Amino acid sequence: MAEENVPSKDHWLSIGEIAHRSGVAASALRFYEDQGLIGSRRTAGNQRQYQRSTLRRIAFVQAAQRVGLALAEIREALDSLPDDRTPTRSDWSRLSKTWRSRLDERITELERLRDDLDGCIGCGCLSLQRCNLYNKSDRLAERGPGARILNVGIPGE
Amino acid sequence: MAEENVPSKDHWLSIGEIAHRSGVAASALRFYEDQGLIGSRRTAGNQRQYQRSTLRRIAFVQAAQRVGLALAEIREALDSLPDDRTPTRSDWSRLSKTWRSRLDERITELERLRDDLDGCIGCGCLSLQRCNLYNKSDRLAERGPGARILNVGIPGE
DNA sequence: CCAAGAACTCAAGCTCACTTGAAGTACAGT
DNA sequence: ACTGTACTTCAAGTGAGCTTGAGTTCTTGG
């Protein structure tokens, strides 16, 4: 994650500046670094310094979160990108395919739910046997211990 | 939450039966009861007994979760329903309006994201200034301590 | 009547994505 | 030189939605 080899003339940003410009809290940025999502170099006095490109990386992370990816998945995606150059069109297209299908799936599920809901408004049912809302996608039974974050458009799901 | 006053002839279901039929773990059912989402009565030996209508309630909870509601909100919705009769068309229509708009919002957000994504595949950009994906819905800034479920932009400014 | 299995109650643990706090160090401005 | 703000690390806490485990009691079939 060291961002050492860099077109010398760049100037570096402090964590405060990055936090301010990205809208992400400094504590979150440190956390992201722990998680391998972003990198930094240090000053003589051990303070973090970021390249401007880190802002782009952070924006990427945020977009990916909105798509519904967990941080671990986002890290994988970032790792699959060439070290620290701007991604090419084909890098990007590869990634966006995953995103796209995630989004499509989730959108489809929500639309179906909405349609069922509309059906239910008409029928006023809530009857267990008949109602689509109730009987769709039963036994989604996601398994394993630990918290279940969401159903709901969030990572993990 | 006591479901005492009930058309006598009903027979009651054990937690195991409810778990099996609903696909929800017994531990989750106890948790739901703690949270006031479902009710039960007890046998002489202190074991839970459920009405069949509880299955409907659980299905309701699951549908609501898929819509994206938190358990606390679902409880409120359930509390707003008449005690334990089957909801009327107008009860239902009131609730479904909330759901509907939730769904619409989320669907719209995801669709916009998808469209931006498609735009990006074309442009191959990832450039911070220009890319829609990056600059949409910045500073959503949800505040307060604790975990942030969704996308999480802490206001830097 | 007894064993097996199902249920009971707590308390503690888990994941995820962070935040908060304490205690200390660095740097910029006067 | 001094003050104040920004930064550092590390440990622990947060909330949602459950699960797991320990130790105990109920219920049912043979």
Contact B103 A93 (CB under 8 A): no
Contact A152 B66 (CB under 8 A): yes
The C-alpha angle with vertex A100 and arms to A99 and A102, in degrees rounded to 5, equals 65
Q: A124 is written with which tokens?
A: 């006023």
Q: A93 is written with which tokens?
A: 């297209």
Q: Residue B71's closest chain A neighbor by CA?
A: A150
Write down the pLDDT at residue B129: 45
Write down the pLDDT at residue A151: 28
Write down the pLDDT at residue A146: 29
Helix (H) or strand (E) holding B40: none
The architecture of the domain spanning A12-143 is Orthogonal Bundle (1.10)
DSSP string, A23-88: ---HHHHHHHHHTTS---EE-TTS-EEE-THHHHHHHHHHHHHHHT--HHHHHHHHHTS-SSSPPP
**A83: which residues sit within 8 A by CB, 6+ positions away?**
none
Write down the pLDDT at residue A139: 33
Size of interface A-B (CB pairs under 8 A): 144
Write down the pLDDT at residue A18: 97
The number of residues in chain A equals: 157
How long is the CA B111 to C1' C24 vector, in angstroms?
48
**A102: which residues sit within 8 A by CB, 6+ positions away?**
A67, A68, A69
Hey, what amino acid is at B142? E
How long is the CA A105 to C1' D19 vector, in angstroms?
28
Q: Where are the domains of chain B?
A: 12-143
Q: Residue B51, CB half-sphere, CA atoms under 13 Å: how many?
A: 19
Torsions phi, psi for B150 (to 5 deg): -95, -160
Write down the pLDDT at residue B122: 57
Write down the pLDDT at residue A83: 59
Write down the pLDDT at residue A137: 39
- A121 is near strand D: CB distance < 7 Å: no
DSSP code at position A14: E
The CA distance from A126 to the nearest CA of chain B, in Å, is: 7
Q: Residue A56's closest chain B neighbor by CA?
A: B128
DSSP code at position A13: E
Number of neighbouring beta carbons within 10 Å of residue B35: 13
Contact B60 A126 (CB under 8 A): yes
The terminus-to-terminus CA distance of chain B in angstroms comes to: 46
Low-confidence ranges of chain A (pLDDT < 50): 1-8, 127-129, 135-157
Tell me which residues have their CB below 7 A from strand C.
Answer: A 25, 27-28, 30-31, 43-47, 65, 70-72, 145-147, 149, 155-156; B 14-17, 19, 26, 30, 40, 46-48, 145-148, 151-152, 154
Q: How far is CA A5 from CA A80, A83, B28, B128, in A?
A: 19, 11, 52, 22
Write down the pLDDT at residue B134: 56
pLDDT averaged over consecutive 10-residue blocks of chain B (157 residues)? Answer: 48 95 96 96 97 89 87 89 65 79 88 79 51 46 28 26
Write down the pLDDT at residue A103: 87
Write down the pLDDT at residue A37: 95
Distance CA B152, CA B141 (A): 6
